[in-house]
Amino acid sequence: MRVVGLRGAITCTEDTKAEIEAKTQRLVKEMLARNDVAGDDLVSIMVTATDDLTAAYPAAAIRALGYDDVPLLGARELAVDGGLPLCVRVLVHCYSARSRKEVVHVYLEDARSLRTDLPE
What is the residue range of 49's domain? Answer: 2-114
Range with the poorest average pLDDT among 19-23, 90-94, 111-115: 111-115
The arithmetic mean of pLDDT across residues 60-77, rounded, is 97
Distances (CA, A) of 48 to 81, 96, 116: 17, 23, 20
Model confidence, pTM: 0.95
Q: Is residue 119 part of a domain?
A: no
**What band does 83 get if pLDDT is binned at 50, 70 and 90?**
very high
Q: In what order do the strands lie in the sheet with 2-11?
A: 72-76, 42-49, 87-96, 2-11, 106-107
Q: Which helix (H) or strand (E) holds 4?
A: strand 2-11
User: What is the number of domains present in the chain?
Assistant: 1
Q: Is residue 120 part of a domain?
A: no
Instruction: Report the mean per-residue pLDDT for the chain.
Output: 96
User: Where are any strands of DSSP class E within 12-97?
Assistant: 42-49, 72-76, 87-96
State whether residue 91 is helix, strand or coil.
Answer: strand
Half-sphere exposure of 113 (CA within 13 A, CB side): 8
Is-contact 76 49, C-beta < 8 A? yes
CATH code of residue 95: 3.30.1330.40
**What band does 119 get if pLDDT is binned at 50, 70 and 90?**
confident
- pLDDT at position 117, please? 82
Q: Is residue 21 part of a domain?
A: yes
